[in-house]
Amino acid sequence: MYLCLCKGITESDVREAGQEGIVMPGQLKAKFGLKDAGCCGRCSRNIHEFVEIATATHHLPSSNSVRN
């Protein structure tokens, strides 16, 4: 599902950011360029959706990081 149509940002893009530890609104806006010229601002207003997705992913155990 697209979270930002202007930039073509999908849920999985935001999950990847969450896995990298990018979960704060300011970090997410900077990473995805949501303050850039040309953005309509819709997803900036809905940044809580980005944060929820990124945070949920950040707290999931990553199968890549488990090395026993």
14 binds ligand FES, rule: CB under 6 A:
no
Out of 20, 30, 35, 40, the only residue in the binding site for ligand FES (CB under 6 A) is 40
Q: Which is nearer to ligand FES, 7 or 58 (CB)?
A: 7
Decide if residue 53 touches ligand FES (CB under 6 A): no
Q: Transcribe the chain into DSSP letters.
A: -EEETTTTEEHHHHHHHHHTT--SHHHHHHHHTTTSTT--SHHHHTHHHHHHHHHHHHTSPPTTT---
Of 4-12, 16-24, 55-63, the window that binds ligand FES (rule: CB under 6 A) is: 4-12
